[in-house]
Structure 1
C-alpha cells in the first residue's frame, strides 16, 4: 500500500542491496567487469558472497543494477521526471533552462562516465544490451528536450530539431564529460560552464 513505511528488515535488505551495487560500481570502474569477482564485490560491500548471489543471481544481473544506479542515482524515476529537471524546465527562457539542465546532467555524468569503458567492453554481450537501449532512450530524451526548449526560445535559423538533439546528445553526454573532466582534468563547474555556453551558442541566437 502507498504510504506504508518499510519494516526494519526491508530497510536493512535495501541498504545491503545498495551497498553491493555501490561496491560493484567501484570495483568495475577500478579493475573492469571481467576482472571483478562476486567474491571481491562481497568483500568490498562487507557481506558474504552468498549474500551477493542472494540479491543478484549473476554478475550480468548485478551489472544491470549498477547501470540503473548510474542513471537514476537514488531516485527511482527517470531523470526527466526528477525534481532538478522539472525545476529547470519551469524557466521561461530556454537558455536558462538549458544551463540548469546541463548542471543537473553533470551529476549523472559523474556516475556514468567512469563506467563508459566497462559498458564498452561488454557491448557485444547480453549484459551490454541494457546500455545500448539506454543510449536509444537518451537520444529520445534529447529530442523531447529540444521540442520543449524551442517552445520557449526559437532555434537558430537553419538548425533542425534533429541536429539540435544531436548536439545535446554528444556535447552534454558522459563521453564529453569524461573527456574533459576525467581525462583533461577540468573541474565539473568548468565543464558545466563550457557545455552550457557552447550549447546555447549552437542552439540559439
Structure 2
C-alpha cells in the first residue's frame, strides 16, 4: 500500500474517531451538564480508549470548546465562518436584501446547531477560564465579521448615505450574537424561524434608519 493511501486511511480513521468523540461528548454535556460529564464517560460512550481522548483533547474544557466550534461550523472542516458559503453570499449577493437574508439565514442555522451546547459552555465559563476566554473571543469575532459585512455593503454602494459604520456594527453584533438568540428563545419563546424573521426585519430597518446622532450614542 502506497504512503499516500496509508495517509488517507489514517486521516479517515482520525476523523471518524473525532466524530464519535464529539457526538458522545455533545450528548453527555447536553444531558448531564458540564460538571457531571467526565472524560471517562465520554470515552466509554464513544467506544474509544481513554488515552485516545486525553491525547487528542487534553482537558474537558478543550473538548467542550471543540464541540461548540464544530456545532457552529456544521462540520469539522478547517474553514472559519468567513469561508462558509452563506457568509460569502452575505458579502457578494447583488442586493442588500439578499445579503441580509443570507446573513440572517446563516445565523439561524448556526443557532439551531449550536445554541444548546453553547449554553452549556457559557455556564461552564463561570469556573473554566479557558471557556470564558473562548466566549469573549467569540464575541469579538462576531463583531469583526459584522464590521466586514457592513463595510463591504458600503464599499459596494448598497448602503444609503449617512450611516455610521461603527454604530451599525455595534448594533448588529448584539442582534446577531448567539447569546441574544438564547435570551430570545428562553425568555420570549422564539423559534428559529421567528429569530430569522426578526433578524431579517430588524437588519432591513437599519438600512433606512441611520440611528441617533453621534452625540446621543453610548460611548464605545
Normalised by the length of structure 2, the TM-score is 0.79
TM alignment of 1:104-115, pairs within 5 A: 104-114=106-116, 115=118
Tell me, which stretches of 5 or more residues in structure 1 are unaligned? none
- What per-residue deviation string (whole Å, max 9, x for no partner) do you get for residues 41-76 of structure 1? 123323333332232222122123223213323132
2:138 is equivalent to residue 134 of structure 1 = yes
Indicate the structure (1 or 2) with the bigger Cα radius of gyration. 2
Moved more, 141-150 or 26-35: 26-35
Structure 1 equivalent of residue 197 of structure 2? 193
Tell me, which stretches of 5 or more residues in structure 2 are unaligned? 210-220
Give the number of equivalent residue pairs: 201
Shift in Å at residue 124 of structure 1? 5.8
Shift in Å at residue 191 of structure 1? 1.6
Shift in Å at residue 192 of structure 1? 0.8
Structure 1 equivalent of residue 13 of structure 2? 12
Q: Which portions of structure 1, spanning 4 or more consecutive aligned residues, are displaced by more than 6 angstroms?
A: none
Between the aligned partners of 1:88 and 1:138, the Cα distance in structure 2 is 14
Structure 2 equivalent of residue 153 of structure 1? 158
Q: Any idea what SS the aligned residue of 2:200 has? A: helix
Normalised by the length of structure 1, the TM-score is 0.84
Structure 1 equivalent of residue 212 of structure 2? none
Structure 2 equivalent of residue 28 of structure 1? 29
Structure 1 equivalent of residue 96 of structure 2? 94
